[in-house]
Chain A
């Protein structure tokens, strides 16, 4: 029966690439509802286990993680309203599939940060890699530096706001939500987007298929001002607004060959 329970079910990579230690380190210093721990010598798995133990079992609502060391997949799957501060950078897939937490990252994040984020806020003090906010569904993702390519690909909701520039194919197949880009945008902005709004403060190298300039309204001004005020980002620059032209996908009864002629 041992083979059917617990640790014995874990299959390890023959080359030793998985992290076999599944023990919660329990090394945090706890003060009321606040906790703090040093992640310098911990693996990704140990850091996430410690975070979940603090938030889910110890009732901690404010956690500080020191020395995250750009390790991957940190802070993923946190489904509780709480406050998490990373005092350093995260690697790839940081804060993915989160629903509720208020995260502050005092460094940069690698590729695919906040993928499938459902709600909450993530503020990144540094830069972010490609695919940031991919398939994001809700919440606010604020990056004070620059972003890589394919930012908000397949975005389904929420807001991505960057004070810097973004790379190519940002907003690719975006379905809902908003992106606020204070700097420049790379080639193919908003390519094949279904819906949503992209605001760009700088230059756009090229628009993607079916991404077109949109008409500015008072609601746009109110939205931009509110986000800048909430996150204390200063005075917003002048933005151009881009939306979906609604000629590409499922907005008519044209055959694919006919649709190409329209576009």
Chain B
């Protein structure tokens, strides 16, 4: 089933980590397996990288802690080799790290170098995007990663009920549009031409970390935008080129967009307020952050809507 949510404030910084947690926790029944966030703050000159040195399916044997240490050391060695200076490093769990880097080189090269290390995965890379995802409900992940204090401008989130791939961090949403900076997607639905698009995008040099169909939406859109399309234009094209039933939300450094397939088979409720736009698979998620009566509606089939800050 899965649940998706998005929020974009019209101005200023807000407690977006806490708001998104409330929205996602109220939809726990739609997907208790894992919870993920893509949180955005104002862009900085530095690069923020979220990465993991193990997945939840990595064996927790006697060697596990040693492997974590080795992977971290190797990642830092490779970063230094690429000329990426670590300004700060925050360790959120045994295996999850947030690095702030002084780096102006090729982001794809940087991601490839880290992911070449066994069990390491770059969750996000960019100047304003941070992807956090792990097993459990929103309250659990929020507490684990201290997200209630995250001040930001917009965000998307996802609660996952695993149906087609493993219950692990790789299978959790949101997906970063590797190797494109600051683009992420959450999706509710199924793509029926997933393998066709995956092969096409792999031929163009993109890598996929999961078996999840949703991952290709992020890369598909990012590739179209890299060719000169705007976000809305790319999303409109996706309605013709991606088959299946879907509602997805895509975010960039300064915009948030939603698209529904031609059948409107997956739900989304939308609230357009004076200071924010909020959307979710269920209205109760929006009501979790707004304490008064509101007027909401469902976007129609084949509709693409984009809001820019």
A48-56, A125-133, A219-227, A252-260 - interface stretch: A125-133
Counting chain A CB atoms within 10 Å of each CB, the highest count among B269, B286, B302 belongs to: B269
One digit per residue, 1 when the CB lies within 8 angstroms of any chain A CB and 0 when it does not, for chain B 15-35 equals: 000000000000011001000
CB distance from A1 to the nearest CB of B (A): 33
With a CB–CB cut-off of 8 A, which chain B residues contact A148?
Answer: 264, 298, 300
With a CB–CB cut-off of 8 A, which chain A residues contact B302?
Answer: 168
Is A110 in contact with B267, judged by CB distance below 8 angstroms?
Answer: yes
Question: Whose C-beta in chain B lies nearest to the C-beta of A71?
Answer: B284
A255-B155 Cα distance, complex, nearest whole Å: 55
A168-B260 Cα distance, complex, nearest whole Å: 12
Q: How many A-B residue pairs lie within 8 Å, measured between CB atoms?
A: 72
Given known contacts A129-B267, A167-B264, is B301 in contact with A149 (CB within 8 Å)?
yes
CB distance from B256 to the nearest CB of A (A): 21
A213 located at the interface, meaning its Cβ lies under 8 Å from any Cβ of chain B in the complex: no
Is B28 in contact with A108, judged by CB distance below 8 angstroms?
Answer: no
B118-126, B199-207, B289-297 - interface stretch: B289-297
One digit per residue, 1 when the CB lies within 8 angstroms of any chain A CB and 0 when it does not, for chain B 50-86 equals: 0000000000000000000000000000000000000
Is B264 in contact with A110, judged by CB distance below 8 angstroms?
Answer: no
Is A187 in contact with B301, judged by CB distance below 8 angstroms?
Answer: yes
One digit per residue, 1 when the CB lies within 8 angstroms of any chain B CB and 0 when it does not, for chain A 14-25 equals: 010100000000
A72-B283 Cα distance, complex, nearest whole Å: 10
With a CB–CB cut-off of 8 A, which chain A residues contact B276?
Answer: none
Interface positions, chain A 196-211, Cβ under 8 Å from B, are none
A211-B125 Cα distance, complex, nearest whole Å: 52
A107-B301 Cα distance, complex, nearest whole Å: 22
Interface positions, chain A 127-164, Cβ under 8 Å from B, are 127, 129-130, 145-146, 148-150
Is A146 in contact with B297, judged by CB distance below 8 angstroms?
Answer: yes
B211 located at the interface, meaning its Cβ lies under 8 Å from any Cβ of chain A in the complex: no
A129-B282 Cα distance, complex, nearest whole Å: 10
A92 located at the interface, meaning its Cβ lies under 8 Å from any Cβ of chain B in the complex: yes
Is A168 in contact with B262, judged by CB distance below 8 angstroms?
Answer: yes
Choose from A71, A72, A167 the contact partner of B300 (Cβ within 8 Å): A167
A20-B286 Cα distance, complex, nearest whole Å: 25
Question: Whose C-beta in chain B lies nearest to the C-beta of A166?
Answer: B300
Question: Whose C-beta in chain A lies nearest to the C-beta of B285?
Answer: A70
Chain B interface extent, by class: 20 to 34
Is A91 in contact with B264, judged by CB distance below 8 angstroms?
Answer: no
CB distance from A167 to the nearest CB of B (A): 5
With a CB–CB cut-off of 8 A, which chain B residues contact A17?
Answer: 28-29, 32
With a CB–CB cut-off of 8 A, which chain B residues contact A168?
Answer: 262-264, 300-302
Is B32 in contact with A130, judged by CB distance below 8 angstroms?
Answer: no
Is A110 in contact with B282, judged by CB distance below 8 angstroms?
Answer: yes
Interface positions, chain A 103-139, Cβ under 8 Å from B, are 107-108, 110-111, 126-127, 129-130
> Taking chain A's interface residues, is the majority helix, strand, or loop, or is none over half, making it mixed?
loop
Is A149 in contact with B283, judged by CB distance below 8 angstroms?
Answer: no
Interface positions, chain A 168-219, Cβ under 8 Å from B, are 168-169, 186-187
B287 located at the interface, meaning its Cβ lies under 8 Å from any Cβ of chain A in the complex: yes
One digit per residue, 1 when the CB lies within 8 angstroms of any chain A CB and 0 when it does not, for chain B 239-273 equals: 00000000000000000000000111001010000
Given known contacts A92-B282, A110-B269, is B264 in contact with A130 (CB within 8 Å)?
yes
> Taking chain B's interface residues, is the majority helix, strand, or loop, or is none over half, making it mixed?
loop
Question: Whose C-beta in chain A lies nearest to the C-beta of B301?
Answer: A168
A88-B290 Cα distance, complex, nearest whole Å: 13
With a CB–CB cut-off of 8 A, which chain B residues contact A186?
Answer: 300-301
A71-B263 Cα distance, complex, nearest whole Å: 25
With a CB–CB cut-off of 8 A, which chain A residues contact B284?
Answer: 69-72, 91
Interface positions, chain A 66-114, Cβ under 8 Å from B, are 69-72, 88-89, 91-92, 107-108, 110-111
A65-B301 Cα distance, complex, nearest whole Å: 32
Question: Whose C-beta in chain A lies nearest to the C-beta of B296?
Answer: A108
CB distance from A92 to the nearest CB of B (A): 7
Choose from A70, A149, A167 the contact partner of B282 (Cβ within 8 Å): A70
With a CB–CB cut-off of 8 A, which chain A residues contact B293?
Answer: 88-89, 107
CB distance from A117 to the nearest CB of B (A): 20
Is B287 in contact with A70, judged by CB distance below 8 angstroms?
Answer: yes
Counting chain B CB atoms within 10 Å of each CB, the highest count among A129, A146, A168, A186 belongs to: A129
CB distance from A20 to the nearest CB of B (A): 14
What would be 30 A-B contacts, judged by CB atoms less than 8 Å apart?
A17-B28, A17-B29, A17-B32, A69-B284, A69-B287, A70-B287, A72-B282, A91-B282, A91-B284, A108-B283, A108-B296, A108-B297, A110-B282, A111-B267, A126-B296, A127-B295, A127-B297, A127-B298, A129-B267, A129-B269, A148-B298, A148-B300, A149-B300, A165-B300, A167-B301, A168-B262, A168-B301, A169-B263, A186-B301, A187-B262
Binding site for A on B (CB under 8 A): 28-29, 32, 262-264, 267, 269, 282-284, 286-287, 293, 295-298, 300-302
Known: A71-B284, A168-B263, A186-B300. 9 other contacts (CB 8 A): A17-B32, A70-B282, A70-B286, A70-B287, A107-B293, A126-B295, A167-B298, A168-B264, A169-B263
Report the 6 A-B pairs with minimum CB-CB distance, sorted nearest first. Answer: A70-B283, A149-B264, A127-B297, A168-B301, A148-B298, A70-B284
